[in-house]
Amino acid sequence: MVSNDSEGIEAPAVSEVAGLSEVPGLSEVAGVAGVSAPGRRPIIGLTTYLEQSQSGVWDVQAAFLPRVYFDSVTRAGGIAVLLPPQPVDVEIAAQVISGLDGLIITGGKDIDPARYGQDPHPTTDEPRRDRDAWEDALLLAAITSEVPFLGICRGAQLLNVALGGTLIQHLPDVVGTSRYQAGGGVFNVVPVDVDADTALGALLGDGLDAKVYHHQAIDRVADGLTVTARTSDGVIQGVELTSVPFGVAVQWHPEETAEDLRLFAGLVEAAALYSSRPGSRTNSTAANTAAANTAAANSAAVGTAAASTESDVPAHHA
């Protein structure tokens, strides 16, 4: 157990989280249960908002993320690192991803419809193109490197758009109800059916009651994605990328259900497995540390030998 002194919270070992060893099929999804070695926790990057924000006397542009996101990561046994929107290209994205064991694309504002070839609906948010570009680049880099990832709400939509899919810009126009976004910051609860024969199903079983707050949804599914969850009216609530070891995305907000860490635990477990692979960030760091320690030990040994040799040489007297 690792203690968080600022809150008096102890972070459990990965294998202790949410009964991971008892989750049906988890070993097939993430590789093995309890793969994380003592003291070695996967680094999970979480994307953030970049919005005008107020704190005390300050009213400035600031990067932020609701605490429930990174609390879910730490409670699941990972180490949370926040990734604010910033200038990006392929090389920068690859460098960022190379320092992570897992990635979460979080919820937020609507994606710019121009990214999937549409004009904006009157209800669509003013685009945050900097965040769109940042998250798109990170996600594609994670896919290329097979870094495990989890998309949440906007993150599921971004995965679909990044791979060539489209979105429904305003669900009430299609389903005739606002039950997916009640408004006022209140999360509605809807039953979601999950395909049990998927990575998502291995973690969650065949369904759950999910907390939702979205007025958009996946429309045309991108090539390579598999739909894994829907509501009774056909709205897509989950997709996964089967060409990578762990690429799961959901339309609902699992971070809002503190007692259910199964999705975060699945990601952390997959990230722990990823970090144990030859050539991974963790193993490269461990190898570099071992090499440095060996060099330091050799240097100390040489210094000791030199000192011993000098002590055997008679002092020169003038």
- The residues carrying an active-site annotation are 153, 253, 255
- State how far the Cα of 199 lies from the Cα of 33, in Å rounded to an integer: 15
HSE toward the beta carbon, residue 68, CA cutoff 13 A: 12
HSE toward the beta carbon, residue 53, CA cutoff 13 A: 10
**Nearest alpha carbon to residue 24 among 258, 194, 272:** 194
**SS3 per-residue string spanning 91-158:** HHHHHHHHCCCEEEECCCCCCCHHHHCCCCCCCCCCCCHHHHHHHHHHHHHHHHHCCCEEEECHHHHH
Residue whose tokens read 């997709």: 239
Instruction: Output the furthest CA–CA distance in the chain (Å, rounded).
Output: 103
Task: Provide the β-strand partners of residue 191.
Answer: 209
Assigned token pair, 149: 């990832």
Q: Which residues contact 251 (CB under 8 A, 6 or more apart)?
A: 153, 156, 157, 212, 214, 217, 218, 229, 235, 236, 237, 238
**Nearest alpha carbon to residue 19 among 105, 86, 77, 61:** 77
**Nearest alpha carbon to residue 159 among 149, 146, 168, 144:** 149
**Residue 194, SS3 per DSSP:** strand
- State how far the Cα of 164 lies from the Cα of 139, in Å rounded to an integer: 13
